[in-house]
Structure 1
Amino acid sequence: MQALAGIESLLPDGLSLGFAALLVVTAFFTAALTAAFGIGGGVALLAVMASVVPVAVLIPVHGVVQLGANAGRALVQLRQVVWPMLGIFTVGALIGALIGGQLVVTLPETLLKTFVGLFVLFTLWAPKVKGAKGGPFGLVVGGVFATILTMFVGATGPFVAALLAPRLDDRKQYAGTHAAAMVMQHGLKVVVFGFLGFAFGAWVPVMVAMVAAGFLGTLLGTKLLHALPEKAFRAAFKGVLTLLAVQLIASAAWVWLS
């Protein structure tokens, strides 16, 4: 009992031990999902956190946890990162962080969620034309928008996935590069929220536990990544991404209609 009381004393006000355990377990499974399919974990984790964590701290805390989870994923898949592509994306991400810091309290979240969902669906299902992969400029612009969006939506993995997937035919290169791009994006977001005055201190123990669980989930998911055939991976990837896009649009529509 004393041990439980000691753990509860480390938790932020209003978060029970049971809900804290739920967040840690969820971090494990969502990290495994992202490592295996290259997408999905961030949105799933955000959905669970939204029902447990106060709205005022949701995006900053989610950003720290996703930074840790993706850092672990990038470390495990480091050899697969396409560094020139990551560098171009990072240029856009830096610009997006500067702009996003100015807009973070002005644009409606529902509008951004709708935009992300429609963009992902268009990228996945629109007829492909020759040259549709785009050049470096498109990657820079994508980095700008992705980083602005993450300030509001939190989990923009589907956006970044839709940006990188057409440019990378190898699923392992895609997974590694996506992880590294998300590290850049979430890292910049955390810095911006720090400058805006968000106090992360009370949530440090919970975030550390979630990041550690996420790293273990990443190890499991990476094994699944190497075991999946390319065709099965692409089909699962497209299906998961489509469901996430529809969920984003539906959640935004629900807010508009309610």
Structure 2
Amino acid sequence: MVAGIVGFGGGMLLISVLPVFLSPALIIPIHGLVQLASNSSRMLFSLKHVRWQLVPRFLLGSVVGALMIGYGLSHISMEYVPAAIGLYILLNLWSPKFSASVSRYESFYLIGFLQTELGLVVGATGPLSLSVLTKQLESKDEIIATSALFMTISHLAKVPVYLSFTESMFSDLDLIVYMVLGAILGSFIGTKLRLSTKNGYIIKIIQVLLTLLAVKMIAEVAL
């Protein structure tokens, strides 16, 4: 429901409680499946607001990112990646000079690549595309619907990787079904609430929450 209103945050709440119910080996793949249900349902409930012209570039970058997951994760140190993402989000949101300069190089090919490539080890890659969409689009519904589709693509591209994590993933099938149904219901309620809320109010909330997330990502690495 939280993600249905502001576009993100639900996945972080979910992964914080999953260790209570699941073994460590199942947390990442089951979280990915539930997030796939959450993002895809959120996108479907706001289908008319998706900016489809942006999708092909993100999709191509995401496919390349998925194909290179194994190579990238074995050749790149991930220790400082969350801090780099956090710093990028902060500067993109609050530094007009940085935002204007980086706009010349921002590409949804690259965003799709990074969001999918790094998504397995960096829990909050979705805000990468959300921060760019917030800058380029004016409608809260277009921002959140398009971001939901982008995150759906990223999760779909990683499903084969999730499935390779464990052979016992569907031993908790009942739990997965209940979580998926809960995610879809939350998306429906959150979307209804968002559609009835003023545009500027939601966008400001997104900016504030993205800022808090970015600070958290930087602080976790620095401390």
User: TM-score, length-normalised on structure 2?
Assistant: 0.88
Out of 207, 216, 225, the residue aligned to residue 176 of structure 2 is 207
The residue aligned with 2:107 is 138
Does the CA contact (< 8 Å) of 2:37 and 2:180 recur in 1? Answer: yes
Which of the pair has more CA radius of gyration? 1
Does the CA contact (< 8 Å) of 2:25 and 2:165 recur in 1? Answer: no
AA at the equivalent of 1:226 = L
AA at the equivalent of 1:198 = T
Does the CA contact (< 8 Å) of 1:34 and 1:41 recur in 2? Answer: yes
The residue aligned with 1:69 is 38
Indicate whether 1:198 and 2:166 are aligned. yes
User: Once the 2 structures are TM-superposed, how far is the Cα of residue 105 of structure 1 from its aligned partner?
Assistant: 5.5
Rounded Cα–Cα distance in structure 1 between residues aligned with 2:172 and 2:72: 25
Does the CA contact (< 8 Å) of 1:59 and 1:154 recur in 2? Answer: no
Rounded Cα–Cα distance in structure 2 between residues aligned with 1:153 and 1:70: 17
| Other structure's SS at 2:118 match | helix
The residue aligned with 1:232 is 201
Residues 116/57 of structure 1: CA separation in 2 closer, same or farther (3 Å cut): farther
Out of 87, 98, 101, the residue aligned to residue 56 of structure 2 is 87
Out of 145, 160, 170, the residue aligned to residue 176 of structure 1 is 145
Rounded Cα–Cα distance in structure 2 between residues aligned with 1:169 and 1:34: 18
Out of 217, 221, 246, the residue aligned to residue 215 of structure 2 is 246
Alignment of 1:83-162 (within 5 A): 83-104=52-73, 107-128=76-97, 130=100, 133-134=103-104, 138-162=107-131
| Other structure's SS at 2:80 match | helix
- What are the ranges of 5 or more consecutive residues in structure 1 without an aligned counterpart? 1-31
AA at the equivalent of 2:67 = L
The residue aligned with 2:8 is 39
Does the CA contact (< 8 Å) of 1:59 and 1:152 recur in 2? Answer: no
- What are the ranges of 5 or more consecutive residues in structure 2 without an aligned counterpart? none
> Alpha carbon RMSD of aligned pairs, Å?
2.2
| Other structure's SS at 1:155 match | coil
| Other structure's SS at 1:161 match | helix
User: Once the 2 structures are TM-superposed, how far is the Cα of residue 77 of structure 1 from its aligned partner?
Assistant: 0.8
User: Once the 2 structures are TM-superposed, how far is the Cα of residue 141 of structure 1 from its aligned partner?
Assistant: 0.8
How high is the sequence identity, in percent, across the aligned residues?
A: 31
